[in-house]
């Protein structure tokens, strides 16, 4: 960026300059003018919605952590700042090292090159004739994929296991190995992950993109539900006079950040498949995979309420698991001995 590359090219923010790159820094997408620039931003935001998952997975380790009240708050804070720095700074760097209309980048994406072949960083390194480093990036991408896959298998299998324990999934899924691994849950998760091989075929890659749309809508609704649940939790604390300072951990800017998250994720769930409504882009499969979960979600919620006759909890009657808290206090006291 400042000339420390083999070409001695101090390119700086060259690719942000519209005189060098037409349309920069906000490129038009589908439409022209301000609407096209907004649609370009929206397209990036939709792609970012798929990567929103991650911080919530930390909470799933609470059941297997030795001292979750002390360990998890630190983990939550570190994960939040790391992901924020990684995604925000990473997005900034991508726009600096390569223009959005770079022919090599467009061809790499259209050809679906494997590994880091379509990475803008690798393309920038090749243009600068930097040796070896592209191979290192490939290795880092491979390790990141392995790490992500490992965490997703863990979280998905533990979710299945938890649902089975609550009677919401077949009881056979509660079977574990001697080491405590829910073997059937892990097997099902690994079987579903085999769908990733659809990317090997150009035609099958379209099917994979449909599943990505389905998962994106699902996790956006999940985050909206988590945010709404926290809003109710916050209101219940206030209604019962329980100070937040008594909690092992409390987040900042509440409840405003929870409202922001709820509104944002809820809106993005509806916006995710907007492209099918543009002229000439209508596709029934794309529409179904983008919006099916929005229809299924309320049906499941209402059906559960009707079948199990559950009631909407009054804020003053919400249970904060006092008996469980006492048990955890005793457990933590035993750890300190």
Task: State yes or no: pLDDT of 79 exceeds 80.
Answer: no
Give the burial class of 272: count Cβ atoms within 10 A of its Cβ; 0-12 exposed, 13-18 middle, 19 or more buried: buried
Per-residue pLDDT band at 9 (split at 50, 70, 90): low
Evaluate whether 118 touches 112 at the Cβ level (below 8 Å): yes
Per-residue pLDDT band at 180 (split at 50, 70, 90): confident
**Smallest Cα–Cα separation from 43: which of 337, 242, 278?**
278
Q: For 273-332, how does the pLDDT look when each residue is reduced to its tens digit (9 = 90+)?
A: 888 888 888 888 888 888 888 888 899 889 988 888 888 888 888 877 777 777 777 777
Q: For 41-50, how does the pLDDT look when each residue is reduced to its tens digit (9 = 90+)?
A: 888 888 787 7
Model pLDDT, residue 3: 58
Measured between alpha carbons, how far is 126 from 133 in angstroms, rounded to an integer?
Answer: 9
Q: For 244-290, how does the pLDDT look when each residue is reduced to its tens digit (9 = 90+)?
A: 888 877 888 888 999 998 999 899 888 888 888 888 888 888 888 88
pTM of the model: 0.78
Q: Give the percent of the chain with pLDDT over 90.
A: 5
Spatial neighbors of 106 by CB under 8 A, at least 6 apart, are none
Q: For 105-116, how does the pLDDT look when each residue is reduced to its tens digit (9 = 90+)?
A: 777 766 666 555
Model pLDDT, residue 129: 77
**Smallest Cα–Cα separation from 7: which of 105, 112, 106, 97?**
97
**So where are the chain's domains?**
207-337
**Smallest Cα–Cα separation from 272: which of 288, 254, 291?**
291
Task: State yes or no: pLDDT of 204 exceeds 70.
Answer: no
Q: At what angle do helices 103-110 and 120-127 cross, to 10 degrees?
A: 140
Measured between alpha carbons, how far is 28 from 12 in angstroms, rounded to an integer?
Answer: 23
Model pLDDT, residue 262: 93
């Amino acid at each position: 960026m400042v000339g420390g590359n083999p070409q001695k090219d101090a390119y700086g923010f060259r690719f942000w300059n519209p005189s060098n790159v037409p349309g920069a820094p906000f490129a038009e997408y589908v439409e022209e003018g301000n609407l096209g620039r907004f649609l370009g931003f929206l397209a990036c935001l939709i792609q970012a919605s798929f990567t929103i998952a991650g911080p919530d997975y930390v909470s799933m380790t609470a059941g297997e952590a030795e001292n979750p009240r002390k360990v998890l708050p630190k983990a939550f804070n570190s994960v939040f700042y790391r992901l924020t720095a990684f995604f925000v700074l990473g997005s900034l760097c991508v726009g600096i090292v390569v223009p959005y209309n770079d022919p090599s980048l467009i061809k790499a994406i259209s050809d679906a090159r494997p590994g880091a072949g379509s990475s803008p960083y690798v393309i920038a390194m090749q243009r600068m004739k930097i040796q070896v480093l592209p191979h290192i990036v490939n290795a880092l991408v491979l390790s990141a994929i392995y790490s992500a896959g490992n965490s997703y298998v863990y979280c998905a299998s533990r979710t299945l296991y938890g649902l089975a324990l609550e009677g919401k999934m077949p009881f056979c899924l509660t079977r574990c190995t001697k080491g405590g691994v829910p073997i059937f849950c892990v097997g099902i998760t690994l079987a579903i992950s085999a769908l990733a091989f659809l990317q090997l075929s150009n035609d099958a890659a379209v099917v994979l993109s449909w599943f990505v749309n389905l998962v994106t809508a699902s996790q956006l609704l999940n985050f909206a539900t988590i945010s709404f649940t926290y809003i109710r939790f916050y209101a219940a604390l206030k209604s019962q006079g329980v100070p937040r300072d008594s909690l092992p951990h409390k987040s900042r800017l509440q409840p405003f950040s929870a409202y922001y998250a709820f509104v944002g994720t809820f809106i993005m769930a509806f916006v995710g498949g907007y492209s099918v409504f543009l002229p000439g882009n209508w596709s029934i499969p794309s529409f179904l995979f983008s919006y099916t979960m929005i229809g299924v979600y309320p049906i499941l919620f209402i059906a559960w309420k009707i079948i199990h006759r559950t009631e909407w909890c009054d804020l003053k009657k919400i249970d904060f698991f006092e008996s469980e808290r006492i048990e955890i206090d005793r457990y933590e006291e035993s750890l300190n001995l």
